[in-house]
Amino acid sequence: MTKQYQDCLQRYKLPEFHAEWAAIRRGIEKESLRVSPDGHISPHPHPPALGSALTNDYITTDFSEALLEFITPVYEDIDECLKMLENIHRYSMQHLENDEILWVSSMPCPLGAEDSIPIAQFGSSNMGKMKTLYRHGLSNRYGSLMQVIAGLHYNFSMPEAFWGPYQAICGHTGTLQDFRTDRYLHLIRNFHRYSWLLLYLFGASPAACKCFAQGRDHGLESLDQHSFYLPDATCLRMGNLGYKSEAQKSLFVCYNELSTYVECLHSAMHTPYEEYETIGQYRMTTGPDGEQSKDYLQINTNLLQLENEFYSTIRPKPLLKDGQRPLAALQEGGIEYVEVRALDLNPYLPLGIDATQIRFLDTFLLHCLLADSPACNQQEFFEVGENIAKVVEHGRDPELVLNMEAKPRKMQEWADELLTDLQHSASLLDHLQKTNKHSASLAEQAEKLANPALTPSGRMLAEMQEGQMSFFEFSMLQSRKHGVELRNGGLDEKTSTEFEAASKASHEAQKAVEDSETISFDQFLDEWNSQ
């Protein structure tokens, strides 16, 4: 045992760290807009060859019919996970219609009026109708423009072999499920404290098309005739221009105990909100035969329609049974994994992410899990939000000052301290996996800290300014480049056949769900809201 390895164990108060504990489990969910050859959002329905958006395990849609979402299964091997993501891309690219391509940036392509964005359709089953209604609710509450921003979600969990021995090391005497849940909440608290670092290192949305911000308060500057930006911005997607809700600003969501987290979201889902009551849950319409029916506008008029409406950089996730609500599943089975939601698509990478970034994420999340994690409080909760807002808009300013426990702290110094500490978890993983790739990834991030021009946001702005390109022109250049690479070859016949079979099976599964309905949508929605 080397001294460095011993130091890593001591840093996390561990007597040992077995090789099988390093078999981290991961999955990726990646969103991308379908756009026309000239770069405008696709008005066409979800391509039938990609299967049913309701029931396909690999390819679905998010808010819009045009916003594809690719989902990998869970993998212990990073290369296998990325290969599956690549195969999903290739299959989808080869089955897009109307010469469409995938938009590679998180901030969307040029957009027209709100009603020009086609909302995702999931068929005629009650669950399918509710998924579409939820999106109509989002549109009526926040507008459709915000909802077509694309992101990348990283699902992380430790292997089952880790939890029993680690529970013994920590001296926890409760159930294994309770221990696992407590430690994932522990990870989430630390993630919130340090998530601004991810925005600096991987933020790739320093600019946006002017039409996206039209009629909105934004405080951005003109980069050119068609683009807004901020000189030191990193991740506008996570700022006021992106996933923000005025209604949720006052929500204090506590991650100290699962019961308080569940109680907070449950309360928000059952508390009427005046602005949403003004919209109304539905309006009555009269058909040709004079019969009246409800034209639904949102699932309900509460602060949150569903759990997923709460915007967060990370979510605790349960394993869901068919028809089960996420909060009910959390209470019954505890937290099974965490979903990191703070990541932009990297437009320089065909898949939006690569193995180097994944290794850093694993290093970062393992550190968040193993390092001390004090209980959160309301002051820190809102301080975290303020730090994120500062890094979003001014992250590449070397003089930027954040707040740490109500005291000013230079971001560069704090980030350097964090990266130094992260060497402990990187070395643990390298030692057990007999590699140096986690440390190499960490070193690459340290270079970005020393030179902000190396960050994706810095590279993008430099390239746009030097090439006199608008945000649209830059994104189209990268989209076409990756589109050619992903469309041409690289998908073997066996894999293609498997995706075709999955697509066919998903259409059959959707039809089976629709054929089995026994109650009206009105009744279904009433029962859902009363749960």
Are 271 and 265 contacting, i.e. CB atoms less than 8 angstroms apart?
A: no
Closest CA to 396 of 450, 463, 317, 323: 450
Where does the pLDDT of residue 323 fall: very low under 50, low under 70, confident under 90, or very high at 90 and above?
Answer: confident
pLDDT tens, residue by residue, 69-125: 999 999 999 999 999 999 999 999 999 999 999 999 999 998 877 888 999 999 999
User: Where residue 138 sits, what CATH number does that domain have?
Assistant: 3.30.590.20
Return the pLDDT at 4.
87
Beta bridge partners of 229: 207, 221
pLDDT at 1: 63
In 420-462, DSSP assigns E strands to: none
Q: Is pLDDT of 369 > 90?
A: yes
pLDDT of 34 > 70? The answer is yes
Mean pLDDT score, 53-74? 98
Residue 287 pLDDT > 90 = no
DSSP characters for 271-330? Answer: SB-HHHHHH-SEEEEE-TTS-EEEEESSS-SBS-SSGGGS--SEEEE-PPPTT--HHHHH
Angle of helix 471-487 versus helix 78-93 axis, rounded to 10? 100
Separation of alpha carbons 29 and 71, rounded Å: 5
Q: What is the pLDDT of residues 373-403, one digit of tens each?
A: 999 998 998 899 999 999 999 999 999 999 9
pLDDT of residue 493: 92
| pLDDT, tens digit, 9 for 90 and up, residues 512-522 | 999 999 999 99
Q: How many domains does the chain have?
A: 1
pLDDT class of 271 with cuts at 50, 70, 90: very high
Buried b (16+ CB within 10 A) or exposed e, 157-189: bbeeebbebbbeeeeeeeeeeebbbbbbbbbbb
Give me the domain span that covers residue 181: 3-530
Q: What is the per-residue pLDDT across 446-502, written as a single tens digit (0 to 9) for each? A: 999 999 999 999 999 999 999 999 999 999 999 999 999 998 878 999 999 999 999
Contacts of 358 (CB under 8 A, 6+ apart): 26, 78, 81, 82, 154
Instruction: Give the model's confidence band at 255: pLDDT under 50 very low, under 70 low, under 90 confident, else very high.
Output: very high
Region 201-215: mean pLDDT is: 91
pLDDT at res. 215: 72
* pLDDT on residue 53: 98
11 CB burial (10 A radius; 0-12, 13-18, 19+): middle
pLDDT grade, residue 435 (50/70/90)? very high
Q: How far out from the chain centre does Cα 166 lie? A: 28
- With a cut of 80, say whether residue 525 has pLDDT above it: yes
Reply yes or no on whether the pLDDT at 254 is more than 90.
no
Q: Return the amino acid letter for 92.
A: S
pTM of the entire predicted model: 0.96
* Residue the block writes with tokens 């086609």: 118
Q: What is the largest CA-CA distance in the chain?
A: 83
| pLDDT of res. 243 | 65
Percent of the chain past pLDDT 90, that is, above it, reads 86
Gap between the Cα atoms of 491 and 498, Å rounded: 11
Extract the tokens encoding 410. 């230079």
Given a contact cutoff of 8 angstroms between Cβ atoms, the answer to whether 187 and 338 are in contact is yes
